[in-house]
Structure formats: C-alpha cells, structure tokens
Amino acid sequence: MPLTVRDIIENNFFPGTELITGRESAGNIISWVNVQEILDSVDMVGSGELLITTGFDLADYTRYFNLIKRLKAKGVVGLMVQTGYYVESIPVYILESARKYKFPVLELPASFSFSEVLKTLISEINRESVLGNQSYLDYNYFYPKLKKKLKESLLRGIGNENEIAVLTVSSVNVYNEVGPDIKEAFENINSLVVFSCDTYICHFEKGVQMTFCIGLESMTKLKDLLAEIQVLLIRLSNKIGLNLFVAADMLSDDNGLDISMKHCMEALQTLHSVRAIRGTCLYDHMSFLKKLYSIYRTNTLYSKENKVLRLLLDKDRESDSDYIKTIRFFLEENGNVTRAAKRLFIHRHTLINRMDSIKDLTGFNFDDYYERLDLSMALILNDYFD
C-alpha cells in the first residue's frame, strides 16, 4: 500500500507530530516530499507532494493568505509546518483556510531535523507500503530462533518450574541505524533482564530489534521487570534522545510462543498508534493504554502540571535517588507498605522513612485517595508521553 498522510500519524514516524486539519483528506497518497524552509517557490510544488516548511514569515497574512487555496489547486496532498523555530504555532488564518478546503496541515516538533524527516518518508515512499508488523518486530526472523531455543531448554529441564515470558524491544523510529547508542541501550536492557529473571533461556538481536525468552516465577515479577525497564527507557530518552518500545507477554503453555509473539507485535503496534514517545506494554494492559491516550489527547499538560511528580523527577535527576520507583511501587500496591517494601528489596521501616522524606519534599498526602489517584495518572502519562 502507498504512503498516506494518515500513515505519518498512525505509524508514529515522528512522535509529537499532530494532524491539525484535514482529517477528511488524510487518506491522500504522498508520491513525493518537497522541502522549502522559506515558501518562495510554492508554484514549484507538484501534484501528490507533501510540502514541508519551517514556517519562516508564515505569519505574513498579506503574503500567504491564499497559500492553502494555491496548494489545493495544484494537487498538493498536505502541508507540514515545523514549529519552534520561526513560528511558535501555525497561524490561525492558515488553519481556517485549511479547514475550509479540507486540506491536511500537520505540525512537526522542532526536535526533528529535515534530514531525518526526508530519510524516513522517502524510504517509505520508495518501499510503497505502510509500516507493517514486520517493521516493529521481525516475526519471521525471531520466532524460529526462539522456538528452537525454548524447545531445547525445556527438554533439558531448564525453565520447567517457571512461567515462560517473551519480551521484545523495538526502536520507536524503525529507521534508526545501529550505532553506539543502540548498542549501549541493548546492553543495558540485556543486563537488566538477565539479572531480574529466574531463568534466562535466550535472546536475539537484529538491527534495532531485540527479543528475549525468559522464565519467571510469576506475572508479578514480569511487571516488576517492566517497571525497571520503564525507568531505564525514560533515562535513555532524556539523556541521549533514544526512544524504545518494549512489549511482553506470558506464554499460556509450552506451545504458546507463537501467540505470545503475535501479542507482543500487537502491543508494539498499540504503542505506535497511541503516539507514545517511549514505554513498556504488557499485552494484558493494551486496552488500558488506549483509554489512557484518550485522556492524554484532552489534556496534554496533565503530568506536567503535577507538582509532586515534577519535584520527584528533579530530585531523582539531581541525586540519583529512587523516589519515582518508590512511589510507583507504593501506588501499585495500593498503599500496602509491606508488599511495596518487598518489591523494592528494602525493609518496611526503610520504606516508611523514604516516604517521610518524599512527604517533606513534596507535601504529598499518602493517605488521600484522590492525591494518590492524581499522582498515579500523572506518573503513567509521563511514562509514555512526556
């Protein structure tokens, strides 16, 4: 299938990009990409092309009042404006005109270079197909290898006493090249998985994708592992700008590898479709993630406005403390100190002292249900979207 305007959003090529107008025409097929930092050659844009611009001087109504009408007449399929450099937001008159002509206008964050955008879109156009499951996770490559290793391990009695899980890792941008950042990230994830699982069976890598087959004593341990990985993903995202998705599923039985692999592929697709920046997804939590996105769309500042979360994030960055992890496990255990302390591998009195420190720092009331609920929502939204 050819590339459409809608695919840019649904496949999350550039996280944070939004389709502002023209949803009715989002099925427009993109035959090529035309970049003009300054819109001085609009008449040179051809039919079927997506025009990308920095929006330089776009606030000049007298100069560009009929821009959308001209683009529409020439058969241009959409306009992508990068905000943050020359314009903070797309001018209202442009959006009003675009709505009138049902013309797609996309807003591109300043964090993406035009080189990166061109490389991604042109590669996609040349391939003449939208991203499919294989782009998120190469099932045909990984499944036979995992199946063989799992069968061999079970025959030798390795993993028989555990529940078997599949864990998959994929770069948010499937066009990322394997470099030092990817290698370091994969090494960190590999170390974390091997250390945390009860039985290590195997793992394989291909390009910007990685899969694991591991044994765990319970679903709880898989959730704990994903929580640890989530912290690592946020650190990688903030420090080096590398964004990764991780999906996992428990096998229903020894023959359930095929189903679990497909569950992971579906979970990765869900992470892309909700336009998450990075994050982990347990297959059983997919429906919640979709509902979470509907909340985020209506209030993109939800987690940014939570002062408790901001203070804890800043404290962890400054002192390499574990306040976010502590509060996460406490909230997940519904305020049960004993269970939270067990998951944190600390004494319950140590946890109580840490909670007192958090209260002194933020003023957070651990006994208030609505404060706990508010912080829980902010924490989860921060995991995926901020």
Task: Name the least confident of 147-156, 169-178, 349-358.
Answer: 169-178
Question: Would you state the structure tokens that stand for residue 67, as one six-digit string?
Answer: 């821009």
| Residue 37 or 174, more confident | 37
Q: Identify the pLDDT of residue 129.
A: 41
pLDDT exceeds cutoff 80 at 302:
no
Q: Identify the pLDDT of residue 303.
A: 78
Task: Read off the pLDDT band of 259 (50, 70, 90).
Answer: very high
Task: Name the least confident of 77-91, 109-123, 137-151, 183-197.
Answer: 109-123
Question: Would you state the structure tokens that stand for residue 248, as one six-digit string?
Answer: 């996992």
The mean pLDDT value for 164-190 works out to 88
- Give the highest mean pLDDT range of 28-32, 125-129, 216-220: 216-220
What is the rounded CA–CA span in Å between residue 181 and residue 359?
37
What is the rounded CA–CA span in Å between residue 146 and residue 116?
33
pLDDT exceeds cutoff 70 at 319:
yes
Kindly report, residue by residue over 182-218, the tens digit of the pLDDT.
Answer: 999 999 999 999 999 999 999 999 999 999 999 999 9
Q: Identify the pLDDT of residue 378.
A: 92
**Measured in Å, how far apart are the chain's first and last C-alpha atoms?**
32
Q: Identify the pLDDT of residue 130.
A: 37
Task: Read off the pLDDT band of 42 (50, 70, 90).
Answer: confident
- Neighbour count for residue 165 (Cβ, 10 Å): 24
Domains and CATH numbers, the chain: 5-130 (3.40.1390.20), 134-284 (3.30.70.270), 307-385 (1.10.10.2840)
Burial (CB < 10 A; 0-12, 13-18, 19+), residue 183, is: exposed
What is the rounded CA–CA span in Å between residue 107 and residue 97?
15
What is the rounded CA–CA span in Å between residue 68 and residue 205?
46
pLDDT exceeds cutoff 90 at 373:
yes
pLDDT exceeds cutoff 90 at 298:
no
Q: Identify the pLDDT of residue 331.
A: 95
Kindly report, residue by residue over 321-333, the tens digit of the pLDDT.
Answer: 899 999 999 999 9
Q: Identify the pLDDT of residue 285.
A: 92
Helix (H) or strand (E) holding 155: helix 139-155
Task: Read off the pLDDT band of 131 (50, 70, 90).
Answer: very low
Sign for the CA dihedral angle at 86, 92, 95, 97 comes to negative
pLDDT exceeds cutoff 80 at 115:
yes
Kindly report, residue by residue over 338-355, the tens digit of the pLDDT.
Answer: 999 999 999 999 999 999
